[in-house]
């Protein structure tokens, strides 16, 4: 074995032993994330519970405006199972235009419960947890060339959060849910035809919660401007169960399969943060 190869193997082993692996439960679960990822134990973490006393109405918050979300079916998108979630990679010509900077799309992914626990959103509202939550992740393309450069910067990311409830069948979600069998195991990827991403969002983009927070997975950088829409979207129970039962967090070659479900972080402390809201409902005015 050459010294170079030995060095590569040692580096790989070191990365594995210093926190490359994390899970939601067990010895590598979220209560131990901060051992290898210090920011996970730091301030301004996400998700949080949107408690009434934290909310402040801000009449100057504009409706969210997104551009180029209606993708051509001639485009191909990569759908992957990264061992922690389902992730759909998005082209950077999609962007949010209603923020101080241009935030270009990078990917969207999901958090959900399980077949016997139909609650799995990360953010909660006065303690209520929804069936699931979708995050559409964008990076500040005015200041940074890509998401890798932006991810640890204080103004690096903007995420649109969408609550998911079980109810009516949702044809927009089926545009990629129907390909789940192609990504049953960790690190599997397939190409799927693009579609109108806007159809995944709620009808009302003018009602939302806004606060400064973090990535909800390691390394938990406090780099996210969060916009979580007030109104959920629905998927059918059958669609939810397809998401909650079809996937594994383990590799295809592993003899023991680990189901991929319950992939949500518990609410974090508010840290004296104020959550601005774009809707009145008797909330205190912003000072």
Place of tokens 């901060």: 34
Q: DSSP string of 64-89?
A: P-EES-B--TTSEEEEEE-SSSEEEE
Which listed residue (84, 93, 109, 111) is catalytic?
A: 84
SS3 string, 223-279, reads: CEEEEEECCCEEECHHHHHHHHHCCECCCCCCCCCCECCCCCCCCCCCCCCCEEECC
Q: Copy the structure tokens of residue 158.
A: 């903007």
Query: For this structure, is 84 an active site residue?
Result: yes
Q: Copy the structure tokens of residue 276.
A: 């601005």
The radius of gyration of the chain from alpha carbons, rounded to an integer in Å, stands at 19
Supply the residues annotated as catalytic. Answer: 84
């Amino acid at each position: 074995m050459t010294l170079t190869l030995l060095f590569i193997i040692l580096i790989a082993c070191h990365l594995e032993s210093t926190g490359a692996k994390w899970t939601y439960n067990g010895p590598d679960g979220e209560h131990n994330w901060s051992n290898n990822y210090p920011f996970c134990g730091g301030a301004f973490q996400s998700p949080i519970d949107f408690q009434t006393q934290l909310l402040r109405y801000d009449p100057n918050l504009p409706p969210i405006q997104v551009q180029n979300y209606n993708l051509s079916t001639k485009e191909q998108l990569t759908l992957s199972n990264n061992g922690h979630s389902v992730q759909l990679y998005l082209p950077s010509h999609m962007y949010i235009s209603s923020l101080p900077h241009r935030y270009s799309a990078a990917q969207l992914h999901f958090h959900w419960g399980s077949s016997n626990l139909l609650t799995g959103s990360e953010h909660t509202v006065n303690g209520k947890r929804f069936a699931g939550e979708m995050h559409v992740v964008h990076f500040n393309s005015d200041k940074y060339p890509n998401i890798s450069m932006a991810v640890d910067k204080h103004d690096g990311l903007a995420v649109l959060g969408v609550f998911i409830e079980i109810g009516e069948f949702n044809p927009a979600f089926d545009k990629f849910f129907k390909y789940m069998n192609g990504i049953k195991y960790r690190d599997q990827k397939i190409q799927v035809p693009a579609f109108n991403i806007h159809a995944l969002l709620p009808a009302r983009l003018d009602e939302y919660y806004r606060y400064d927070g973090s990535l909800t997975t390691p390394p938990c950088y406090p780099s996210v401007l969060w916009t979580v829409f007030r109104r959920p979207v629905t998927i059918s129970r059958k669609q939810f169960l397809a998401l909650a039962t079809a996937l594994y967090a383990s590799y295809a070659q592993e003899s023991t399969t680990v189901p991929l479900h319950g992939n949500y972080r518990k609410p974090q402390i508010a840290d004296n943060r104020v959550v601005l809201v774009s809707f009145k409902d008797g909330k205190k005015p912003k000072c």
